[in-house]
Structure 1
Amino acid sequence: MAVVPARRLALLGGGFSTDDDGLLDDWVLSHARTPRPQVCFVPTARGDASAYIERFLDAFRSRSCEPSVLPLFQRELDDDALRTFLLAQDVVYVGGGNTANLLAVWRAHGVDRLLREAYGRGTLLCGISAGANCWAEGSHTDSFGPLTFLPDGLGLLPGSVCPHYDSEPGRRPSYRAAVAVGALPAGWALEDGVGALFTDGLLTEVVTRTAGANLYRVEPDGEDGAGERALDCRLLG
């Protein structure tokens, strides 16, 4: 009987684009299925910005991995080659930017379906900000300007996600309000510096590079509001 691989994804509150210590990126690589993994960066949410791509490559060329980039705004691979490429990756690392735009572009190119397939085959999916939002059923986002709720995502992670919970004004009350009224399902709020690993949809590890930073479970409290519960985090370093 064939062994079904664990389906894993990681939500990141930091990484190469915001931190200099590399702790969260090293943590991600420690969960790859091979010692020297194929790691694909997907910069769709920021329009395949060249500076963002170079920052990723600079950070990961020096690590024990084989880094690559999937551009979609100047796509070079046909459908068959795109599928072969994505399914060969051990880690898919999605950058931040505009969550709504990311989802629309992925669907136009069929990347959403390929990522589902890769996830089912054991590829570790991860990302920061929009790259964390995209995996859930819904998210808290500034994709449309003001902070609001987006009841859309790939749905690989049950519930909703809110990034930058401690660092952007308005995030905490706005996300809690969306959960309270049912605009978003209960979910996970990440403070900057935190990493959360989910295996088959269940939380299995929480780490932080910043002492005092937390992952929160946010749920309706039954009184027209929403409560939050901090999860224990292991300090990296």
Structure 2
Amino acid sequence: MTTSPSPSVQVFAIGGGGFTHPGDGWPEDAVLEDRLLALAGPAPSVRIGYIGHASNDHPDRITAFHERFRDCASATHLPMTADAEMAAAFLSELDIVYVGGGTTSAMLTLWQEKGLDHAIACAARNGLILSGVSAGAICWFEDLLLGTAEDGYALWPGMGLLKGSACPHYRNELPRKQSFDHHVLTGQLAPGIAIDDGVAVHIIDGVVASVEHARDDGGDAFLVHADNTEVEITGVDNTGLKTEPLQPGFRLTSSR
């Protein structure tokens, strides 16, 4: 599924929260969505589309999308039944595409089977802003760690539009953080970025342009990489792992 990383791709990756999770109790997350819209121009002229394939087109999330953006943008969504031709036409009319959370592996498999991955990659190289939360934040990268604490975690290839790996819900889901850290430390995952809920990372041309914060809970985004390779892993001990706040200007890399 992977494609060659493109220097022209622009991504706005949200670690978690937002309009699809109103029950989380963080209305401040709307700030991130406002900043996303601002990347494409003044409201209400922005054209934004929603892809909810990771949640099987859950109707509540589609409704939430339209309610969130109907007064500040031209909003539409791409159903799971769409083929590559329909997807290409849909994307060509947008400034921004927003991909919702859910089961990343199922979404990527569907995209590959129908050719939607190529349609999305082509649109991104032609100026479409890629954005999303959780699954929709990480699917653009080369290396992914997917799953849940209950079902277990597994390595999975992403679309490869951005170098390295990525992890959502970083310090909000401890088992996910521990597994991601371990896989980066042992070289099973490329170094990458990890994003807390309520935080977004804006990436242009493979370089971090900004890290956006919505909440006052101390959430942040991080660069996660091995400080050295000669370490012994015992339990969840991640001695040798280096985690540092992500800064604008950092260039993504897939070096292990």
More displaced, 19-28 or 113-122? 19-28
The percentage of aligned residue pairs carrying the same residue is 33
CA shift for structure 1 position 80: 3.2
1:42 paired residue number: 51
1:134 paired residue number: 139
2:62 paired residue number: 53
2:120 paired residue number: 115
Query: Is the CA contact 1:149–1:183 (under 8 Å) kept in the aligned structure 2?
Result: no
Query: Relative contact order (C-alpha < 8 Å, sep 6+): which is higher?
Result: 2
Three-state SS of the structure 2 residue aligned to 1:55 is helix
Cα RMSD (Å): 2.0
CA shift for structure 1 position 210: 1.5
Q: What is the 5 A alignment of 1:73-222?
A: 75=81, 77=82, 79-142=84-147, 145-211=150-216, 212-222=218-228
Closer/same/farther in 2, CA of residues 230 and 59 from structure 1, 3 Å limit: same
Cα distance in 1 for partners of 2:127, 2:119 equals 13
Instruction: Give the alignment partner of residue 16 of structure 1, picking from 6, 15, 19.
Output: 19
Aligned residues: 225
Three-state SS of the structure 2 residue aligned to 1:170 is helix
CA shift for structure 1 position 213: 1.1
Closer/same/farther in 2, CA of residues 180 and 200 from structure 1, 3 Å limit: same
Cα distance in 2 for partners of 1:143, 1:104 equals 18
Query: Is the CA contact 2:12–2:130 (under 8 Å) kept in the aligned structure 1?
Result: yes
Query: Is the CA contact 2:88–2:120 (under 8 Å) kept in the aligned structure 1?
Result: no
CA shift for structure 1 position 78: 5.4
Q: Deviations over 1:78-117 (max 9, x none)?
A: 5434312212211010000001001001111111001110
Query: Is the CA contact 2:194–2:222 (under 8 Å) kept in the aligned structure 1?
Result: yes
> Under a length normalisation based on structure 2, what TM-score does the superposition of the two structures give?
0.82
More displaced, 145-154 or 212-221? 145-154
Gaps of 5+ in 1: none
Cα distance in 2 for partners of 1:110, 1:232 equals 35
2:241 paired residue number: 226
Closer/same/farther in 2, CA of residues 147 and 210 from structure 1, 3 Å limit: farther
Q: Deviations over 1:168-196 (max 9, x none)?
A: 13122211100011111000000111010
Q: Deviations over 1:58-77 (max 9, x none)?
A: 111122x11001011xx2x5
Cα distance in 1 for partners of 2:83, 2:109 equals 19
Cα distance in 1 for partners of 2:54, 2:38 equals 25
Q: Deviations over 1:197-217 (max 9, x none)?
A: 000111111110123211000
Three-state SS of the structure 1 residue aligned to 2:169 is coil
Q: Is 1:67 equivalent to 2:75 in the alignment? A: yes
CA shift for structure 1 position 20: 2.3
Query: Is the CA contact 2:140–2:160 (under 8 Å) kept in the aligned structure 1?
Result: yes
Gaps of 5+ in 2: 1-6, 232-239, 249-256
